[in-house]
Chain A
Amino acid sequence: GAVVSQHPSWVICKSGTSVKIECRSLDFQATTMFWYRQFPKQSLMLMATSNEGSKATYEQGVEKDKFLINHASLTLSTLTVTSAHPEDSSFYICSARATGPHTEAFFGQGTRLTVV
C-alpha cells in the first residue's frame, strides 16, 4: 500500500507551548487528508478533514483555533496544537487519500503527544 509518514513519532512539550505535527504522503498525491485523535483504550476520533488549498473542515466540538491545520501541498499537511495543555496529550494520527470517490485512505504511524 501507499506510504504516509508522520513526524515526529513522539513529542513532549511544556504546557502553554505549541507543537506542529507533519503528515506526508510519500508516493502519491493526497487531495484529502484527515486528522484523528485517539485517547488510551478508545477508538480513533476524527478531528478534521482538509483538502489541498482549502480551509479544513472541523468536526463538531473540535476547536479550529486550537488545532490549526494547513494543507498547502498535495503531499503535506500539518497539525499545530496551539497553547497545549495536559488534556491535549493524546495519540494524533493522520491519513491521506488520493483523488477518486472510492480510493482507500492510508494512515501515518501516529504521533504521541505528551504535554507536561
Chain B
Amino acid sequence: DAKTTQPTSMDCAEGRAANLPCNHSTISGNEYVYWYRQIHSQGPQYIIHGLKNNETNEMASLIITEDRKSSTLILPHATLRDTAVYYCIVRVAGKLSFGAGTTVTVRA
C-alpha cells in the first residue's frame, strides 16, 4: 500500500518551474522518499531520492520538510518532454509500491 498522497493531475507552462507536492505523513525515520516518472508505455525513470536533506541533481530538486511529512519535487525548467506521470514513493522493506501518481502535462 502506498504511503503517499499526490494530486491527481497538474498543468504547467513550458519553461516554467513545476512544483509537485507529495504528502507522506506516516513516514518512518529511516525511510527514504523516491521520485520516479513514467512516460506513456515506458518503464519508470528514476529522478531523485532523499531522506531529510534537500537534494539536487541534473534532473530535479527535492525539498523535504523538516518534519519529513511532505516533500516537493521541482523541475526547474519544464519542457514538453517532461509530460509524464510522476510517482512519489516511500520505500518500505526495500520495496517500491506505486500509487496513482500525478499526471503532469506541460503545455507550450
Residue numbers of A with Cβ under 8 A of B are 1, 4, 6, 32, 34, 36, 43-46, 49, 91, 93, 95, 97, 101-102, 104-110, 112
Contacts and interface: CB of A to CB of B under 8 A. Distances in A.
Nearest to A43: B98
30 contacts: A4-B43, A32-B94, A34-B95, A36-B98, A43-B99, A43-B100, A44-B38, A44-B44, A44-B98, A45-B98, A46-B95, A46-B98, A49-B94, A49-B95, A91-B41, A93-B43, A93-B44, A95-B43, A95-B96, A97-B94, A101-B94, A102-B51, A104-B49, A105-B46, A107-B36, A107-B44, A108-B43, A109-B43, A110-B43, A112-B41
B56 to A, nearest CB: 15
B43 A107 contact: yes
Nearest to B51: A102
Contacts of A45: 98
A110 B42 CA distance: 6
A43 B101 contact: yes
A106 to B, nearest CB: 6
B54 interface: no
A9 to B, nearest CB: 10
Interface residues of B, number: 21
Interface in B14-51: 32, 34, 36, 38, 41-46, 49, 51
B97 interface: yes
A57 B1 CA distance: 17
A71 to B, nearest CB: 14
A101 B95 CA distance: 11
Contacts of B45: 1, 107
